[in-house]
Amino acid sequence: MALQLGDEAPDFTAETTEGTIHFHEWLGDGWGVLFSHPKDFTPVCTTELGATAKLKDEFARRNAKVVAISVDSVESHKGWIPDIEETQGTSMNFPIIADPDKTVANLYGMIHPNASDTVTVRSVFWIGPDKKVKAMLTYPQSTGRNFQEILRVLDSLQLTSKFQVSTPADWTSGGDVIIAPAIDDAAAKEKFPKGWETKRPYLRLTPQPDL
């Protein structure tokens, strides 16, 4: 059965470029972002891993760990890393999981037969401190991911897990958010002392509550 939002992220033990990890234990009590790439020594993946390495401090500031995976071996990953570092002007600072037997790829549904029977497509999984899958996103092999969007989704997930709000279209951290329609105005006065703007009874905008 396909992995769904709210499911527990499958646990696994795997070899990585930074040694053996037990996934849930490695995540600890923070957030996690697991993302797959189709193959080592490919151009789009090279740019993606470089972009992720440059954002290490941003993920750390959000108490989040990132880890990549493909069905290549640890030896292949380690052979590829110098290319990433040289072409992208950064140092690799997060692990890449080796999954040559496709165990993890199949647990997470990363292989789409209509695209390829053997290649992991560009999937992203946001995992909460409770080890539940909070969001998923899948791109075709040809389309590189926007890692600012991956951070933006993480910001939204973290905010909405703490407050009864939703984030509107194109929201970025610091922007107004939407008060959950289930909260009536009387309760909203206590929960959102900064006040709100009522566009419609079901659409009330309030300043981001943790700022």
Q: Residue 28 corresponds to which tokens in the numbers above?
A: 């600890």
Q: Residue 23 corresponds to which tokens in the numbers above?
A: 């996934």
Angle at 102 between CA 14 and CA 44, to 5 degrees: 95
CB 85 within 8 A of CB 92: yes
User: What string of DSSP letters covers the chain?
Assistant: ----TTSBPPP-EEEETTEEEEHHHHHTTSEEEEEE-S-SS-HHHHHHHHHHHHTHHHHHHTTEEEEEEESS-HHHHHHHHHHHHHHHTS---S-EEE-TT-HHHHHTT-B-TTT-SS-B-EEEEEE-TTSBEEEEEEE-TTS---HHHHHHHHHHHHHHHHSSEE--TT--TTS-EEEPTTS-HHHHHHH-TT--EEEETTEEEE--TT-
Is 45 known to be catalytic?
Answer: yes
Active-site option among 9, 27, 45, 92: 45
Residues labelled as active-site residues: 45
